[in-house]
Structure formats: C-alpha cells, structure tokens
A and B are shown apart, each in its own frame.
Chain A
Amino acid sequence: MDILAPLVLLTPLAGFLVNALFGRLLPRRVVGWVGAGSIGLAFVFALLTLSQVLGGQKLDQSYFTWWQSADFNVPFNLYVDALSTLMILVITGVGFLIHLYSIGYMREDAGFSRFFAYMNLFVFSMLLLVLSGNLVFLIIGWALVGLSSYLLIGFWFERRSAVLAARKAFVMNTIGDVGMVFAAFLIFLNLRVLDFQGLFSRVHDLPKGGMVITSICLLLLVGAVAKSAQLPLHTWLPDAMEGPTPVSALIHAATMVTAGVYLVARMHLLYDWAPTAAATVAVIGGVTALFAATIGTAQVDIKRILAYSTMSQIGYMFLAVGIGAYTAGMFHFMTHAFFKALLFLAAGNVIHAFHEDQDIRHMGNLRAGLPVTFWTFLIGTLSISGFPIVTAGFWSKDEIIRAALTAAGSEYLLGILALLTAGLTAFYMFRLFIIAFGWEWMAHDDRHLHEAPPIQTIPIIVLAAGAVVAGYIPVASFLSPVFGQPVEVGTLAFWGLAGLTLAASAVGFAIAYVMYARRPQLAVAWRTRFAPIHALVEHKYYVDELYDRVFVRPGLALARFFNDVVEPRVIDGAVNGVAAFFLVEAREFRGIQTGRVRSYALVTLGGAVGVLLIVALYLGYLPWKLGA
C-alpha cells in the first residue's frame, strides 16, 4: 500500500502536467482521454486500496522531510484508513464520471485543455487533502483545492462576473486557510506534533473541554466553514456557479465543499474532546441547513437553487458530525455526492439545450425532448427529498435526523431544524422540477430540444443508479474501525422517526405540487401577499450587501485614505519636515550632480569627525560613569 497511495495521488498529477504543459499542442481527443483517463486510473488504484483496507490494512508512511528543525518535524506522509479510502473512492469515482461528461459538455470550448488541466489539478489536490497524514500537507491540499476552485470558477475569464466570483471565493477561503494555520500552531505549541498519528495519541494530554482544545477545534472550524460554505462564510458558493457546470458538480457539490465535513470527521478525537466546539459545529450546520433551504425556495436560476441545496445538505453533514454522528455525516456525504453530481450534470444538459439560459421560468416540458435527463433528474430530486426505501438520500438523511432527535441532550432542537429543512428541501426541489421540467411549456419561442450525446448521459445514468443503491452500502460497518460501531436503534423507533421525516417531506412535496402544478395562480398570490418576506429570501437575506458595506467598501476607502492622506501628509510629511529642518542647504544642491555627491561627502565627513570625537572621549576620559 505504500506504493499504491502515492500512485492514487500521482496519476491525476501526471494528467495535470501533461495537459497543462502540452495540452495546447495535443488533439482534443487526447486531451480529453488524458484528463478523464488519469482519474479513471486513479479510481482503479483507489479500488485496489479498498481491497487492502478491507483486508484490515492501514498506512502511515513518510516519504520525505518537509521541514526539520529541533522538534518541529514535518514529514510528507500519507495516511490511509477507512475514512480516507471512502473519500478517495468518491473523489476518483464520481470524479471520473464527471470528467467523462466534461468531454462532451466542453467539446466546443476554446479552453478545452486548460479545463482538463485544472480539473486534474483539483482531483490531485483533493486527494492530497484526504490522504495527507499531517496538518501541513492537509493545509497544502486544502489551499490547492481552493486554487483549483478559483481557477475553474473564473474559467471563462472574459466574463467580469466570473472573475469577481473567483476572487470572492479565493479571499473568503484564505480566511479559512489562516484559521487552519492558526489551529496547527496551537496544536504544535501545545502537543509538539503536527502528524495525525502523534496528534491522536496525544490529544488526551490536554484538559477535556479546556481553552486550548476548544480554540483548536474552533479555528479548524473556521477553515471548515469557509471551505464548505457554511454560515457566515457562505456567500461565495452561489457565485461560484459562474464556473462551467461540471465544475459545479465535482467541486461545488460532490467533493471539495464537503472537505469541512471530512476535516471534522478526521479530527473527531479532538472534537469529542471539545464539546463546546462540537456543539458549535452542529449549530452552524443545523442553522445553515435551514437558512440555505429557505433561500432555495425563492431562486429562479437552476444552478443557484442547486447551490443553495448543496449548502443546505452540507449543513446536514455538519449537524451530524457536530453531534458525534460521524458515520451518518460521512454516509450522507457519499449519497449526496451521487445525487447532487447527478442533479448538476442533468442541469448542465438542460442549460445546454436552452443555450446557456439558466432561468427555470424559461424552461418546461422536458420529458419528450430530454428523456434521459428528465428521468434521471427526477431520480435525483426524489433522492435528495428522501423518497422512502428506494432512494439513497432517504437512508442517509434519515440517519442524521434520527441521530439528532434521539441524542441525549438538547440536540433534538437541531433535529427539529433538520425536519423543517427536510420539508423545505422537498418543496424547493419539486418547485424546481415542476417549473423547469414540468408539464407546461412556458418558453416564448418554440425551440427543438435535443438530448445530450451518450458521453453526457451515460455518466448521469451511472450516478442515478448510485443515487438509488448507495443507501444499501454498509458504510457504517466499513467506517467502524475509525468511528466505532454506531448505536443500534429498534425497528419501531426507526420507522417512527422515519415517519416524521417522511411526513415533513410529503408536506413539502404536496405544497409544491399544489402551488406549481395544480394552481400556479396561488404561487403568484402568495408572492404578492408575503412580498417583504419573499424579497428578503430572494435577496439571500442581504448578507452580500451587508459584507459589501461592512468589509469591502470600508476596506477600499481606508486604503484610499491611507494613500491620499496618511502616507504623503503624515508619515512622509514628518520625514520631509525633519529633513528640511536639518538639511536646509540640501535644497541648494538639488539638480546639480556634483552637488549631491558633495553633500554626501560632507555628511559622511561630518559624521566621521563626530565619531572620532566620541571615541576619543570614550576611550580617553569619560565624563560619565560607565557601569559594569
């Protein structure tokens, strides 16, 4: 396995290097197959890793030294256990399907090779993030996925909106990176380790629930919140939809944005040791889940609706890992990767069919024109809404809500948030489905819609299969070496609680059905009746506007003030004032070349004389006493 793990990592890196350095010279066919093939190969290596992990193996292998000085010893080491294996399987597996899809989706784009280079760079970075065995390389992977995300959000760099969205994502994620770096400092300064093995074995040396461990976990959470677009660092994710749709599927839905969940799960021994920090994770998750779901109900851009849904679903995962239900959180990560990637890729087909129009009000009646996309999107919608038994989303979401409702303390409050979110999820997803795919043709001109080519539909079909069967994968027992066996619930309690979730979802579905399929005039009437609330939700609670007024504009105004006033008048003014006082005659020399040299010589000479005087005084006779 000590060879296998680097192979998983290096294959996408090789793909990146080939496409980045030679992509412009290679035919598109080759570029596409290098891009997708390298991820496919990495998936094969990941499967081999799985077989070894199932055989009971683990890996913590160091390959070279990053920095060693005294006891600050940071190796480059890879750490493979069940958790990282689950991650690399999803990253390379779902990643491979999305790369295949991209060959079709991006076929007419001028930046084809650049696209695949960035995508491979992303997969490499994400694999580094989950395979790293120490905090420094975790942070490096963390920042590199942020970089790839930045590059792909701003992929169409001629579009100003894409450029700004990319910058916003990068800067907000830098805040998270700094938080993680500070967490690493606290860990090193208190435990003198930065590798996971050492960290996990020493974390219990810290007082439980103490200041140090709580600070560490909260600082890590800053990174997790930024990367996973949770409150209050969430505003970059909807804008990130400026990137090509496969990017939204891979990075901003299935994998990268779940890195925060992975981080908390990976550091679960720390969070178990810091109950306040863990509770903070859970509250942020629960609140974000509901917050994002409400926004999702009032958007009309198909990708933005899915983006808010992603934010909301990751909120579920945060809630889960925050209350210690790590397995449930990771389970939902996996099922979400399937159904959300599916939803995005299917949405991509729709957007292509409508010539890059993303407004759901312009779409409709897609069953005949895009049958594969229609049915797979329906499967995705059912899965995310938790349609019972046959969808994966049902099993994983239910596990989270059950864990919250049956937990010992006041977590049931979060369970109620989660139930509300479940209802809202069914509502906004069916609203989307009914309006965009539904029965009524609302477009003004009659366009002939065409289904996407097989290279774009086959990956979606595979994902749809995943969105159905992934619920039956025994993730809990696979992850039990990491998190221990989850608590068993009785059948009665199980179905009782599942019934609650189902009821919530059913209500959401029913309202959406009535409002958008049966009596559309009702939607219009309600929108007018609750206009202020609708405006608030439609404008995302004005958080963007708030940040703009509080941080961005004052920041730039401050910069201008410093540039126009402080630097020239105050600081340089003081300097020039002093200079004018002491070197009045310098003005006379200005402009005369020899004069300036002379002034320099004068100053030096004068200085030397002064110095000699001082030394003479000092060595010869001192008027002042020299202490010992």
Chain B
Amino acid sequence: MSWYTLPTNVPWLSLVLVVPLVGALLVVLTPSVAGRVIKQLGILTAVITLALVLAIIGGFQQGVGGLHLQFEEVLRWIPSLGISYHLGIDGLSLFLLGLNALLFLIAIIVTDSATPRLKEFILLLLILEAATAGILLALDLILFYVFWEAMLVPLYFLIGVWGEGRRIYAAFKFLIYTVIGSFAMLIAILAVAGINFSQTGQLSFDWTVLVQHPAAGVWHLPGSLGSVGIPQLLFVGFALAFAIKMPIWPLHTWLPPAYTASPVPVVIVFAGLVSKLGAYGFIRFNLSLFPDAAHSLGGPLAVLATIGILYGAVMALAQTDLKRLVAYASMSHLGFIGLGIFAGNLLGIEGALVQMINHGVIIAALFLVVGMIERRAGTRLRGELRGLGATAPLFAALFLVVSLAALGLPGLNGFVGEFLIMLGAWSSFLPLAVGAGIGVVLAAWYVLRFYQGSTQDAPPHPASFPELRILDVGVLAPLLALMVVIGISPGFFPAAVDATVKALPVILR
C-alpha cells in the first residue's frame, strides 16, 4: 500500500544524492561576495531535496515484506571485486532520510548570513547532506564506507574552521575517535566479504547478498589462547565505528567538546542526524549481518547503553553551560535508542527507529532554542539567565513544548519511543528497563531545571530579551508539529517500518 506510485524510470535515490551536489557546484560557481545568493541557493537546494524525499516517502510501498528494498538502483562499479553502486530504501532508512532533508534545510535557514566564508560553509553543508543521505541509501558496504568517510571531512572542517572555543581540540578529538572506529569497520567490511567468498565462492560487498549468508565460524587462536567466534569479531569491528558515532558510553568524550564547539547550524545536523547514523548502522549491519553475535553481545552493549542513559542524565544535572547540558541530554537519549536496538526484539527495535526520528527532532529543537537564547542574551550560562518568560512569552511557550517532548511527556513524541524501547528492554533485560525508568525521572529533573531556570523566576535577566521573530517560529514549527503528531498518532510509523523490522535476521533468529 502506498499513497501513490512514482514513475520507476527515474533514479529517485540518486537524485537525492545529486541535487545537493549540484547545489554545491552552483555555490562554487557563485562569487563569494554574493552572500545572499549563496544562502538562497543553499535553501533552494535543500527545499528541492526535501520535496524529493517527501515524494519518495509518499511513494513508499507499505507492508512490503521480507528484506525487499524499494527504489533500488544498481550500477556496475568494480565488478571484479564485487563492488557496485547499489542504492535502496526500506523501513530502516525511510524516515531517517526525511529527517536528513528536514534538518539540513533548517540548518541552512538558520545559518547567519554574516558568517565568515559563508560560501564555503554552505558548500560543506551541502556536501555533508549528500554524504549522510548516501550513508542511509548505500547497500554496498564499500559504497557505504565511502560515504561514511566522506561525511567526516566536511564535518571536521565545519567544526574546526567555524567553531568556537576550543574548536581545534574538539575537531581533532572527534577526528581521532572517528578514524579509529572507521578503521575497525573497514577491516570488518573486508573480512565479511572475504569470509563470504570463502564460504560461498562469490565475492560481493552487497548487503542484500551478505545478509543471506550470515558469517559463521570460529577462529582458533595460536597456542592455548582459546578461540573467538568470527561473527563476534566482525560484530565488534562494525560496533566500534557505530558506538563511537552514536556515542555509546564510555566512548562519548569527544561529544561534549564537539557539540559545544559547533556553530548552531552544524550542531543541528551533527546532534540531530549524524549520531543517529551510528544507531542506523547498528541495525543495518550488526543486527542484520551477525544475528547470533547480536544476541550474545547485545547484553553487554545494552548495559553500556543503560549506563549511558543514567550517566548522561546525571552529567546533564551538573552542567552550567546550556549547550553542554543539551549535549549530555542527547547522550542520555541516545542511550535509550541503544537499549532498544540491543534488546533485539521487535518492539525494542521499532521503538529505537521511531526514537531516532524523535531524538533528531527534539535535539535539533533544543539546540535551536539554545542558539536563540545565546543570540539574544549573549550568554548561555544557566546562572546568568532568569525569568525570560516575562519578556518573551512566545519563546517561553515554544521552549516549553520542546522541553516537554525532551523529558518524554506522554502525548508528545519522546514518550512513544521511550515506551516501546522500555517495553522491548523489559522483555529482554528487565533490570535495564528499570534503569531506563530512573533515567526518565532524572530527565524530568534536568529538563525542568533548564527550562524553569531560564524562563521563570524574577526579575528577568538579561532585562531585554527580544521576542521570537517569524523566522524563529518558522524553523521551530515543523519540529513542534512533528512532536505533536508523532506523539498523538504515531500509527503511520509502524505501518511503514513493521514489515522490514519483522524480517530482520535478529528477529527471525
């Protein structure tokens, strides 16, 4: 079932990759002095991409069973090595692609026209958008790896060049962490294909091929060192890359400096989207290619995820810088997503999938709010803000909705994911669900301290705090709408993703 059928002779998914790149090219060709034109070009590109993605979401066939992918495109690339340009979309990636397009549009809109080297800034954002979309669409492991690495470069420069505070330190730390993860993943990718070759005689890096033949075997270490399951080893290789990117505790220490250093448009896509790509990778690769290992290693990872929930929440309580506070809140919420994934059951994974969207929406909105505060008040230190609701009631009202979604208020979107994730976790690892429940209570505490601390009490400080402009409301509006719609009637979500999740090897096992 779908709302309509898109013509099949159009390479829709490639268009999603090409449009931002064409936009980037046009930006390159525009003279640097034409700042307005460059920004408008960026916005136009992002709007077209979003429209394309929405068209794809509408044309997506619901309830198509198995691991069947839609809008598939396969082109020969390096046939001798079994590498191809293979794109496709299914329930795992569908809505994340929508989040990708939406957040990049918002990021470009909120980019300050007075940003130094605006041309390069927009250019890098557009390249980044193509790379992150590619990560979601790629079905060939090498192609995926290329996009994965391609994402790193613009992100690195966006933080290192346009960042604030200890930007060099932050960017470098992020880089080192990520490179280590990527390296582990690259080894694992090559090994997966190699093992598949030795088992089936077919050399392929294609996800749809590899998923049919889960790697097996045991690696007997030399001497009396015992043995290690090969799927477990490969699982760890992928997991390292994704765990760093999410991040899973204790691999998170790049996150607070990186988020804090990032300018607002960058942190929106960084926290809102890039972190979810790690979670996506876990489902797409770890759970699908190594279902047995996912079961044996899911427990320890779920423990780490739960520690992350509580650790992030406790750290958020201690923060005085609002950007750092949101960074740790983000980490705590990502712990929920991890917990759902590693619970390894239908409701846990579906909860994680919907929570990825919710997290992107909520965290992007929170960072937007922090940006609005900082621009108006000239500070983002909790202790220097007070009573802003008296001078900017509209701001306080919208901030309230965002805060409530962030603390998982039933009736808004955050609750939907947390409910399903904890239900999934409850049936796999009961004590961890209880730990997550404590995280929910802590979230109410630190979010309300954040919200009330800045908007309530008296007298207002700073005394003049301008009310929101139309543009501010405009960028928050789609996020707020999603919070309400997903919160009240999320039924469309399982309708689209259920078939894919049910077919995942980790579920079928």
Q: Known contacts A171-B445, A624-B220; decide if A157 and B346 are in contact (CB<8 Å).
A: no
What is the bound-complex CA distance between A64 and B495, given in angstroms? 13
Residue A525 is within 8 A (CB to CB) of chain B in the complex: no
Asked if A64 and B489 make an inter-chain contact with CB atoms under 8 angstroms apart, the answer reads: yes
- Please tell me the number of chain A residues within 8 Å of chain B, measured between CB atoms: 73
* B-side contacts of A69, CB under 8 Å: 346-347, 350, 494, 498, 501
Residue contact A626 to B219, C-beta cutoff 8 Å:
yes
Name the distance in Å between A602's Cβ and chain B's nearest Cβ: 10
Whether B457 contacts A158 by the Cβ 8 Å rule is yes
The yes or no answer to A142 lying at the interface (CB within 8 A) is: yes
In this complex, what residue of B is CB-closest to A570? B250
* Shortest beta-carbon distance from B317 to chain A in Å: 4
Q: Hey, which chain B residues are within 8 Å of A611, CB to CB?
A: 186-187, 190
Q: Is the CB of A571 within 8 A of B190?
A: no
Known contacts A66-B490, A67-B416; decide if A625 and B220 are in contact (CB<8 Å): yes
CB distance from A184 to the nearest CB of B (A): 8
Beta-carbon contacts of A553-564 to B below 8 Å, as 1s and 0s? Answer: 001101110111
User: In the complex, what distance in Å separates the CA atom of A97 from the CA atom of B317?
Assistant: 42
- Chain B residue nearest in CB terms to A147: B409
CA distance A233 to B227 in the complex (A): 53
Contact of A555 among B317, B409, B448 (CB under 8 A): B317
Residues 456-508 (chain B) with a chain A CB within 8 angstroms: 456-459, 489-491, 493-495, 498, 501-502
* Contact call A174/B227, Cβ cutoff below 8 A: no
Q: Are B176 and A189 in contact (CB under 8 A)?
A: no
B191: which of A24, A163, A571, A615 is its contact (CB, 8 Å)?
A615
Instruction: Give the distance in Å from the alpha carbon of A178 to the alpha carbon of B502 in the complex.
Output: 28
Q: Is B222 an interface residue (CB 8 A)?
A: yes
Is B494 within 8 A of A167, CB to CB?
no
User: For the complex, what is the distance from the CA of A139 to the CA of B411, rounded to whole Å?
Assistant: 9
Segment of A101-109, A341-349, A583-591 engaged in the interface with chain B:
A583-591
Q: With an 8 A cutoff between CB atoms, is B332 at the interface?
A: no
B216 touches A628 (CB 8 A): yes
Does B437 make an interface contact (CB < 8 A)?
yes
A603 close to B221 (CB less than 8 A): no
Stretch from B114-122, B268-276, B421-429 at the A interface: B421-429
A170 with B419, Cβ < 8 A, contacts A158-B390, A560-B318, A615-B194 known: no
Answer whether residue B404 sits at the interface, using C-beta atoms and an 8 A cutoff: yes
- Cα–Cα, bound, A185→B87 (Å): 38
Give the contacting residue for B490; candidates A67, A143, A563, A572; CB below 8 A: A67
Q: Is residue A72 contacting chain B, with contact meaning CB distance below 8 A?
A: yes
Q: Report yes or no: B444 in contact with A174, Cβ–Cβ below 8 A.
A: yes
Residues from chain B with a CB closer than 8 A to the CB of A564 are 318
Contacts known (A158-B387, A181-B419); A66 close to B489, Cβ less than 8 A: yes
Query: A604 interface residue, CB < 8 Å from B?
Result: yes
Chain B nearest CB from A578 CB (Å) reads 10
Asked whether any CB of chain B lies closer than 8 Å to the CB of A182, the reply is: yes
Contact of A607 (CB < 8 Å), options: B186, B318, B422, B455: B186
Q: How far is the CB of B12 from chain A (nearest CB, A)?
A: 27
Contact of A559 among B171, B314, B489 (CB under 8 A): B314
Q: Which residue of A lies closest to B172 (CB)?
A: A596
Contact assessment for A178 and B440 in the assembled complex, using a CB-CB cutoff below 8 Å: yes
Q: Say if the beta carbon of A575 comes within 8 Å of chain B.
A: yes
What are 28 A-B pairs with beta-carbon distances under 8 A? A24-B393, A70-B346, A144-B409, A157-B390, A157-B457, A158-B458, A158-B459, A171-B448, A174-B444, A178-B437, A182-B422, A559-B318, A562-B311, A563-B318, A564-B318, A596-B175, A603-B183, A604-B149, A604-B179, A607-B179, A607-B183, A610-B187, A614-B191, A615-B190, A618-B194, A626-B198, A626-B230, A627-B219
Residue ranges of A at the interface with B (Cβ–Cβ < 8 Å): 24, 64-70, 72, 76, 136, 139-140, 142-144, 147, 154, 157-160, 163, 166-167, 170-171, 174-175, 177-178, 181-182, 185, 188-189, 555-556, 558-560, 562-564, 567, 571-572, 574-575, 579, 583, 586, 590-591, 593, 596, 600, 603-604, 607-608, 610-611, 614-615, 618-619, 623-628
Residues of B within 8 A of A (CB): 149, 156, 160, 168, 171-172, 175-176, 179, 182-183, 186-187, 190-191, 194, 197-198, 216-222, 227, 230, 250, 253, 311, 314-315, 317-319, 346-347, 350, 387, 389-390, 393, 404, 407, 409-411, 415-416, 419-420, 422-423, 426-427, 433-434, 437-438, 440-441, 444-445, 448-449, 452, 455-459, 489-491, 493-495, 498, 501-502
8 smallest A-B Cβ distances: which pairs? A563-B318, A158-B458, A627-B218, A559-B318, A143-B410, A559-B317, A157-B456, A174-B444
